[in-house]
Structure 1
Amino acid sequence: MDFSFFRKDKNKSAPAKKSGKAAAIEAINQAPLTEEQFGSAPAHGGIDVVETGAKLAPGIEEAAMLYASDRANEAIALLKTYLAGADAGDAQWRMLFDLYRVTRQRDAFEQLALDYAVQCETSPPVWVDGAAAKQPGKGIAADATKSSGQLFSLKGSLDETSADRIALLQSAAAQGAIQLDLSGINAITASGSQLLKDALAHLQKKRALLQIASGALISLLQHHTEEASQHEPAYWLLLLQLYQVQGKQAEFEDLAVEYAVRFEVSPPSWETPGKLAQSIAPVAPAEAAEDASSNGFAMHGVINGGSAALFDEFRAFAATRSEVELDLADVQRVEFASVNLFMDALTSLLQAGKRVRIVGGNEMVNVVLIVMGVDQMAEVVRRKAN
């Protein structure tokens, strides 16, 4: 399978006059592809960078494209074929290790590590559990009151314009645990209440892992429900849903009775959540700094054509910074449908004089970025091979 038609021809002579993306690309110094430590968890700062060429080893591009199309098993089979042949090299080993890691195939990873040690006569990479690397303790003995998971916040006014952000919340929750910080909401409408209520109900049904900082929002909702002139049921329903997902049965039942009286309907029934959402305090800036630098913006999960809201956030984050680091350590896959989102975001930032550094991506993500031509617009940092 040949995907070479996606690659930009970097040796092609440039026309005399450029505009738009081409001008932005020409305006920066094209930094070479660099690498970071492969055998350890992706770092958020202080990465030791070494220069290397961007030429891809045999089979690497095809395997990355298969994975980008959600065909991981085919990508694994292809890499195994190359590793069994004369063209086997470190790049194929690295990508296969990352494929096993992101698809959670630990037994296959450990077997590959043994094969690597024997054939390459050097220490193999070790299995790194992303969740364990980011929180203290091990297994179920870890302190359950500690905040863990992807941080996701809603701020300002919760209204109909929050739809994209709330859709992004549901997508992120499908990829793993979520810290949902609602403490920044300072205004709320009935339509916004309905959107968030529906999202929380969906996450409860899917048994999503949630930790919620909701104190300020609950106070705001209580204010609305206590107003005698308030006849919008959405505020009540969102407050009931928050009580439900957090396991606050007494508060739920008291409010359900008040709701039934106010709207002359049967009271909502309590349903024991499959997984309770833990209540946590809002994440303080100093605490957030432990996970990322002040110039770092993290993306998570699968980046695809529906990730426009995430790139809008990235641009807004970068607006007040001259340099920005895009952390892809928790990104599982980048699909080709997102190519325009990457290019549009990077073009606007480069035209504004920003410098962008992309770090932490797995081998498949990095190769897709190269094929997209993203490495012509931003510095792509890869993990060193030991």
Structure 2
Amino acid sequence: MGIFSFFRKKDGQADSAGPDTRLRSGEPSRLSLDNEAERARQREIARATTAKIDAIESAMAFDIFNEPEPAWGSQTRRPVRTEAQIAADTSTDTLPLLELATTELLADELVADAAAPGTEPVIEEIAIMYANAQPEVAEQMLLASLAEAGRDERAVWWMLFDLYQAGGQQDAFDDIAIDYASRFETSPPTWQPLPLAGAEHALAGVTPTESFGPVLDAAITPQLARLLELATSSPATRLEFGRVREVTPEGCARLLAALVLLRGGGRELIVAGATELAETVRATIAIGQRDASEAPWLLLLELLQLMNREKDFEEAAMDYCVTYELSPPSFEAPANVANAAGAQAQSRSDRFLLPALIDGASAPLFDAIDAYAAQFQPVVLDCSRLARVDYAAAAALHKRLRALAAADKTIELRDVNHLVAALFKLMGFQEVARLFPHKY
């Protein structure tokens, strides 16, 4: 029902009521021909008013639901105003319009909902504190900001979620997740810890990446074979399932076998879109259907394990046991596995995985990025395992990326946590690269 429908209903009721119903039965009507003419005129006015309301409501709906979201930095800037114009604005009773939205969106044409950090000054201060290895101070500032900046600015909450995940503070994460769900009336984020800042410092390098979809079937065999071959000499492997819309038992069986191999040997495994793939697989299975292939069931259990969703794993394992009268696999907390949000856009090249910490001793890392950039276009830096960047190191990285951009390289920083994204935005990284914070 439109926002004006309530008023139209009242008009309709008055219109259909007819003559005054309070007359006693048998009493002659006191309405004259003049009254009838006046009522007809009023009805015509009511119909015209209703038509105007319909037009207004239709225009409002179009503006609300059909206006495309702008990419970060794509807004048309208004010309610089003169001092006289500014004075005229401030002399009125209303506030002048902001030059930029508080929360901007940055995305390519297929990832339009990757939200950027906000522009509140406190966010910039917190980003600097965290970059300078003061997480306790950053936490206190974030908590203090929830009542004011966090009232409408979700970036404050997202930064706090990332801080707790980088510090392994699951209890604190769960506490604010409840408050976040209540405040914004939405589902809270799930716990997906980042590596502790400083851990696995040397884990970086070119990451073989494969995007699957829209059908996961036997045709994925060549993609999996490439990943398995490259995984032996790579610190990490990335699989993307955001485009998968359909699965077959054959595809499930092949992917399951590859996941088991890729998880072995202590190598890093990054899975993007595991949640969406798990739901797609779940839709193909039925409890008690014993003649169906076990592969989708076993792939579902593997995905739940990769996402560290033990409760969901145990429930699915029980359903598997009931269906096949077999003992299900046991749950093992995943090691060296990172989860990322699924994107609709297909990766165009292998990524370069950044380490958990970038600090003053990162010159070899920057040299490796230069070597990677010499072979790939676009230059895609995978930040899914990046917990913190030292302020001085961020300045050095910005200088390196500016040189690459000057050499006509397209640079993308993907799956950036919101603390680091706020720092990068403050330091002008968006002038040389496209920033894609991970999604909540």
- Smaller-chain TM-score bracket: 0.3 to 0.5
| Structure whose residues are more often strand by fraction | 1
TM-score, normalization: structure 2?
A: 0.41
Higher relative contact order (CA 8 A, sep 6+): 1
Q: Max radius of gyration: which structure?
A: 2
TM-score, normalization: structure 1?
A: 0.46
